[in-house]
Each structure stands twice: as structure tokens, then as C-alpha cells.
Structure 1
Amino acid sequence: MVLYRRNFVPGGTFFFTVTLADRRSSALVTHIDLLRNAFRKARHQKPFAIDAIVILPDHLHAIFTLPPDDSDFPGRWKAVKAAFTRGVVAAGVSIPCDHRGEYALWQRRYWEHTIRDDRDFERCADYIHINPVKHGLVAAPNAWPYSSLHRYIQAGILPRNWGGDGKIDPEGFGEPND
């Protein structure tokens, strides 16, 4: 058996990928208000900063920063997942159960990466913000509504056309128009 080790750093900043069990599902965007409420509840129980986030139909990417004396990101994800699952079930959505009788909405594991420095943070935030384009959901990152990119643009951190404007020149071999 492989022993997976997580890097518990009090006050750390972490990049996460969290995925639904059914990769064909669109539950995260279909029930975006329930997901937002789940994050609010989790942050109320155990505070953390959401530095960047994108919600896609079947998975999400996020960067969290924990309080200086706290390294419990698994507890935070457990709270988010549980609150969202309860909300979806209460809304009448049928969710299958696994062999343990637990709702099988989320994949049991998630991927995490400890942010090492400002350059690593920027690389991960860029990955988050370009992800809807990567998955073919929109032509330009600012067209996806469930992204912290809009907060970055509003704060003047990134320009409105960051990642391209979505206009492709058919004669230009896939290069964006100038």
C-alpha cells in the first residue's frame, strides 16, 4: 500500500484540484449557489482565504491560504464537500451511494500542491484562470463567469483581455488577432 504524504504547512498557500466522481456531471455549475454557500459555511467554521478559484462543470481548481497557526486543509475540503453534498441532496437531486452507503458525489481524493513562492503562485493562478479555455468551455478566460479572474481584473492585477480576446484569425493558424 502506498502511503500518500501531504505537506502540512501552518499558514501555507496551496493549489488544489477537486473533482466530482462523475466526470460527465455539471453539478458544480448547475448548483453554483449551493457550492458558494458550502464555501461560506466552511470558511465560517474554519477561516481561510480563497486567493484564486475557477469552478468548472465537473471539477474546480483553487488556491487557499490558511491562517498562520493552522495547516488543516483536509478539514476544510471535508466541510466544503459535505455542505455541498447536503445542499444538493436537500434540493432533491438523486446521488448514488457507494458500497459504504456514502453519497458518491465527489472523488474521495483531491490533488494538492504547496505554493513555494510568488512565481509558483502566479503560475498556478494563471492555470486556474485559463482552465475554462483549456477545456473548451469558452474562447476567452473572461467569458467564464465562475472564475476569480473577474476579481483580478477589477483589482487591476490583470488586464481585461488577459489570456486572449477569443477572436481567432482563420488565416493565422490559430494565432489571436492583434
Structure 2
Amino acid sequence: MPDYRRFRVPGGTYFFTVNLLERRLDLLVRHIDLLREAVRITKQERPFHIDAWAVLPDHMHCVWTLPTGDDDFSNRWKAIKIRFVQKIPSTERRSMVRVNKGERGIWQRRFWEHAIRDERDYANHIDYVHVNPLKHCYVTRVKDWPYSSFHRYVREGVLPVDWGGDYKFDADTDFGERP
């Protein structure tokens, strides 16, 4: 196995993708209040700024900025994941490896992170977060997905409510991701 090292920037801004182990489940939106509570408590204990966030049924994308001098996003994610699964009934399938390690079978062990490099990179990732429910065809307008920081951007006047336009899926020509 390669020696994977995360790129860390103290006080940096990062884009994340975090997935459920079973990508066909809808636990994240079904238990959105538990996820929000896990994030809220973790933010109180180990502050970070949420620049953007979109929660989909089986994964989420977000952009965070960490406090000056702090680069520990891994333990924040660990805390969020643990708090969330502690509130979910243990009904999921688990591999023998997970059973032997005493692990739940809710989350993929790893997550994807990308250190934001400049303003353009930042804007591109914020847009990606907000358009993702549309990309996965959960909605035809960005504004219709309820689990997104897009609504905060509209309230604050950063984006217009019709940002992203309308999207009509065409099975003959569109090869985008499907739920």
C-alpha cells in the first residue's frame, strides 16, 4: 500500500468529500438532524468555518477554513463520524474486519481532501458543492435541494436564488452521475 500523506496547510481552506460505505443508502438526509448536531458539537470543541456544504443521501461535499495555525481536519472528521454513528441504530452489514475491530459499517474509512490553492480554486469548489445535488439529478434547480449552504449564500446576497439555472436530464445525451 502506498505511503499516503495528506497535504496540510495550517489555517488553510480545504474541500472534502466524505462517503457512506454503502453508497445506496440515504442515511445522511434521513438523519440530517443527527449529522447537524454532530457537526455543531465538533465545531464547538474544535472550531472551523463552514464555507460551503451540501449533504446528499450517501455522501457530502464541503469547504472548511481552519483556524490560524491549525491543520487538523482529520480529527474533526473523526469526531463528526463517531458522533453521527453513535446515534444511529446498529443495523448495517459489517465485514468481519470491521466486526473484529469493533467498527461500525456506516462510513468509508477515508475521505477525499483538497487544499484550496487560490481564489479561483476556492470559487470553483464552492460552485461544485452547490451544484452537486443537481449533478446527481436529485433536483432540477440548485435552490430546490434543502441540505445545502446555497440557501445561506442566497440569504446573504452572494448568489441569486436562480443561480445554476434549470437542468433537464436527457437520457440520450447526458452521461452525468445518477442517484
- What TM-score do the two structures reach when normalised by structure 2? 0.89
Partner residue of 2:71?
A: 71
* Amino acid in the other structure paired with 2:112: W
Query: How many percent identity over aligned positions?
Result: 51
Correspondence 1:147 to 2:148? yes
Following the alignment from structure 1 to structure 2, what is the Cα–Cα distance between the partners of residues 96 and 11? Answer: 38
Q: Secondary structure at the match of 1:50?
A: strand
Cα offsets for 1:26-85 (capped at 9, x unmatched):
000000000000001111110001100000000000001000021000000000000001
Q: Residue 97 in 1 paired to residue 110 in 2? A: no
Alignment-mate amino acid for residue 8 of structure 1: R
* 1:159 matches 2:156: no
Please list, as runs of the form range in 1=range in 2, the aligned pairs for 1:1-178 lying within 5 A after superposition.
Answer: 1-89=1-89, 93-98=90-95, 99=97, 100-166=101-167
Q: Which amino acid aligns with 2:129?
A: I
CA distance in 1, matches of 2:59, 2:27: 9
State the 1:95 CA deviation. 2.6
Moved runs in structure 1, 4+ residues, more than 3 A? none
Return the alpha-carbon distance in structure 1 between the equivalents of residues 106 and 151 of structure 2. 28
Length, aligned pairs only: 167
What is the alpha-carbon distance in structure 1 between the residues aligned to residue 87 and residue 43 of structure 2?
A: 16
CA-atom RMSD, angstroms? Answer: 1.6
Gaps of 5+ in 2: 175-179
Amino acid at match of 1:144: W
In the alignment, the residues of structure 2 paired with residue 79 and residue 38 of structure 1 have an alpha-carbon distance, to the nearest angstrom, of: 8
- The whole-number CA distance in structure 1 between the counterparts of 2:102 and 2:74 is 21
Offset of 1:94 from its aligned partner?
1.5
Q: Give the TM-score normalised by the residue count of structure 1.
A: 0.89
1:153 partner SS? helix
Give the drift of 1:108: 0.3
Q: Deviations over 1:94-123 (max 9, x none)?
A: 133342231010000100000011111100
Please give the per-residue CA displacement for 1:123-160, whole angstroms capped at 9, x wherever unaligned.
00100000001101000100000000000011111111
